[in-house]
Amino acid sequence: MASLSEYMARYDHEHKNPWNKVCHGIGIPVIIAGIVLLAMLRWRLGLALFVGGWILLFGGHRIEGNKPAFFQGVVYFLVGPIWVGKEIWDGIFKRERAEKAAPGS
């Protein structure tokens, strides 16, 4: 069985296009919000967010020109949200480190 870092590397390999990353960065949290609202019995809003999030993901893969990773295995339903969290984390904190390290800042 592959490790989380191996799954993350494979997932990252399939998500190189910046627009696909944006679609995933928005779409995956929207899907999660939709699931939460569906669980809270807010059917219309939950379903709208769930479907809208998936439209963003499939649109991103259309731009990238590949199939969603979950076609390779259901584990990617869990890897996707972790990957988005890591991308956001890296975007915030690596930028801060780079600014602190830059001379004259």
Report the largest interatomic distance among the alpha carbons of the chain, rounded to a whole angstrom. 53
pLDDT of 103 strictly over 70: no
Q: How far is CA 22 from CA 17, 37, 57, 73, in A?
A: 9, 23, 9, 23
pLDDT confidence bin for 96, thresholds 50/70/90: low
Per-residue pLDDT reduced to its tens digit, 10-32: 988 889 999 999 999 999 999 99
Give buried/exposed letters for 50-86 (b at 16+ CB in 10 A, else e).
Answer: bebbbebbeebbeebebebbeeeeeebeebbeebbee
Average pLDDT over the chain, rounded to an integer: 90
Sequence ranges of the domains in the chain: 18-101
Q: How many CB atoms lie under 10 A from the CB of residue 21?
A: 18
Q: What is the pLDDT of residues 71-95, one digit of tens each?
A: 888 999 999 999 999 988 888 888 6
Helix (H) / strand (E) element for 100: namely helix 76-101
Q: How confident is the model at residue 51, as a pLDDT?
A: 98
What does the alpha-carbon distance between residue 67 and residue 14 come to, in Å, rounded to a whole number? 8
Supply the pTM of this predicted model: 0.82
The pLDDT tens digits for 48-78 are 999 999 999 999 999 999 988 888 889 999 9
